[in-house]
Amino acid sequence: MKNLRHKTLAAASAVTLGVGLAVTGGLAPAAAAGPDTTFLVLAPQGAKNDRAAAQVAAANGTVVANYEQIGVLVARSSNPDFARRVAGAGVESVAATTGLGTALDEGETVEVSAADLANATGDPTAEPLFGQQWDMPMIGVPQAHAVTTGSADVVVGVLDSGISSSHPDLASQIAKDKSTSCLGGVVDTTEAAWNPTTSDHGTHVAGTIAAAINGVGVTGVAPGVKVAAVKVVNNDGFIYPEAAVCGFLWAAEHGMKVTNNSYYIDPWEFNCRNDARQRPVWQAVQRAIRYSNSKGVLNVASAGNSNVDLAHKTVDAGSPNNGTPEVREINSACVDLPAEAPGVVTVSAVGPTGEKSYYSSYGQGVVDVTAPGGDTRFRTQGAQSTLTDGILSTTFNTATRTNGWGYKQGTSMSGPHVAGVAALAASAHPGMSPGQLASFLERTAQAQSCPAGVYNPVPLLGAAFDATCSGGARTGFYGAGMVSAYNVVR
Separation of alpha carbons 277 and 288, rounded Å: 18
Separation of alpha carbons 369 and 102, rounded Å: 25
Tell me: pLDDT of 194 over 60: yes
Q: Is 167 a catalytic residue?
A: no
Q: What is the pLDDT of residue 317?
A: 81
Q: What is the pLDDT of residue 372?
A: 98
Q: What is the pLDDT of residue 19?
A: 35
Q: pLDDT above 90 covers what percent of the chain? A: 75
Tens digits of residue pLDDT in 88-139: 889 999 999 876 554 444 444 444 445 555 555 545 467 889 999 999 999 9
Determine phi and psi for 178, rounding to 5 degrees: -115, 10
Give the mean pLDDT of 439-456.
97
Beta bridge partners of 395: 404
The ranges assigned to domains in the chain are: 13-18+103-452+461-468, 37-97
CA dihedral of 67, 68, 70, 72, whole degrees rounded to 10 = 50
Beta bridge partners of 408: 14, 391
Q: Which residue of the set 292, 385, 412, 427 is catalytic?
A: 412
Q: Which residue of the set 6, 145, 151, 160 is catalytic?
A: 160
Separation of alpha carbons 65 and 119, rounded Å: 50
Give the architecture-level CATH label for domain 37-97.
2-Layer Sandwich (3.30)
Separation of alpha carbons 378 and 12, rounded Å: 14
DSSP for 257-319? SEEEE-S-SSSSSSEETTSTTTHHHHHHHHHHHHHHHHTTPEEEEE--SS--BTTS--EEEEE
Separation of alpha carbons 101 and 230, rounded Å: 17
Collapsing DSSP to helix, strand or coil, 406 comes out as strand
Tell me: pLDDT of 233 over 70: yes
- For β-strands 72-77 and 61-67, DSSP reports them as antiparallel
Q: Which residue of the set 6, 145, 167, 201 is catalytic?
A: 201
Tens digits of residue pLDDT in 12-44: 544 444 432 222 233 333 345 778 999 999 999
Tens digits of residue pLDDT in 459-476: 999 999 999 999 999 999
Whether the full predicted model's pTM is greater than 0.85, yes or no, is yes
Among the ranges given (60-69, 215-224, 268-277), the one the predictor scored with the smallest mean pLDDT = 268-277
Q: What is the pLDDT of residue 16?
A: 42
Tens digits of residue pLDDT in 274-290: 888 789 999 999 999 99
Give the mean pLDDT of 245-264.
96
Q: Is 201 a catalytic residue?
A: yes
Tens digits of residue pLDDT in 332-344: 889 999 999 999 9
Among the ranges given (195-204, 319-328, 429-438, 478-487), the one the predictor scored with the smallest mean pLDDT = 319-328
Q: What is the pLDDT of residue 412?
A: 95
Homologous superfamily in CATH for domain 13-18+103-452+461-468: Peptidase S8/S53 domain (3.40.50.200)
Q: pLDDT averaged over the chain?
A: 88
Q: What is the pLDDT of residue 47?
A: 82
Beta bridge partners of 80: none
